[in-house]
Amino acid sequence: MTRVGATVLAVLTAVGACAGGPSQEPRSTSGQFEDGGPIVVPEEWTVEVLDVSPHDPEAFTQGLEVVDGTLYEGTGLVGESTVRKGPVGGEPTVTVSLPEPLFGEGITVVGSRLWQLTWRSGVAVERDVDTLEERRRVRYDGEGWGLCHQEGPDRLVMSDGTATLTFRDPDDFSVLGTVEVTDSGNPVAELNELECVGDTVYANVWHTDHILRIDPATGAVTARIDASGLLTPQEAAEADVLNGIAALDEPDHFLVTGKLWPKMFTVRFVPTGR
């Protein structure tokens, strides 16, 4: 064995040893390297349904978040876009419409404010988290798709339909940095609704039934979560795509739904075959 080969083998052995503990997220590698590090091969996961609750079948869901037991939802389509709040599975207690021509997109709560994106208007709307009334608007370049807030680094994470996640200041929406999301080293475009949980970002991928678990420090997809089959064939025929992930207060529990879906599902993400 050459010196180079021995070095590579040692590195791969060390990576495998570190991933073996139960408190670590196991990550396999292909043996290839990108930007000086191993390419992560995602794990295959699925959803375990724990409960089902009603969802407004007229809601073109673009953003979903649960904070202290209150469900916040942003919906889209020109002339029909709203932001609303209320109990999970119940009727909204507050609903505010976006004026035309704004097309509502992702939302996230940061303290006393709620940020709401728009699709192609280049406008983010800051709202009062209690009344949902508009406080101000700020401009950004490009499209707005998904949005979530990382509490640790205190930053927003935003998707724009490409493979890029943009980090933004939650106070003024200025750009703090970007990262390209890759699956086994390949860029993943059409990242849609987002949910931040600790050091992890979960993302819907438009036109698919998959949710990706992403390491925002590197952009690597660490797990692909298959969320297909939640709706019956008849329900799916009248609905649009999966789009909506909200972490619940109970650890590892999530609420998922989609555009024009009649139901929301309380789920856990579990390894395939478990």
Domains observed in the chain: 1-41 (no CATH), 43-271 (2.130.10.10)
pTM, whole model, 2 decimals? Answer: 0.85
Give the whole-number percent of the chain exceeding pLDDT 70.
86
* Mean pLDDT computed over every residue of the chain: 88
- Taking residues 236-249, report their average pLDDT: 95
What token pair was written down for 110? Answer: 């940061």
Cα–Cα nearest to 138, from 165, 118, 160: 118
CA distance 98 to 83: 8
Task: Indicate if the pLDDT at residue 167 is higher than 70.
Answer: yes
Q: Residue 14: helix, strand or coil by DSSP? A: helix
Task: Indicate if the pLDDT at residue 121 is higher than 70.
Answer: yes
Summarize pLDDT for 12-64 with one digit per residue, the tens: 344 343 333 333 333 434 445 445 568 889 999 999 999 999 999 999 999 99
What token pair was written down for 223? Answer: 């797990």
Confidence of residue 274 (pLDDT cuts 50, 70, 90): low
At residue 31, the pLDDT reads 40
Query: What count of residues does the chain have?
Result: 274
CA distance 118 to 222: 29
Q: 70 phi and psi, to 5 degrees?
A: -100, 130
CA distance 235 to 120: 30
At residue 39, the pLDDT reads 87
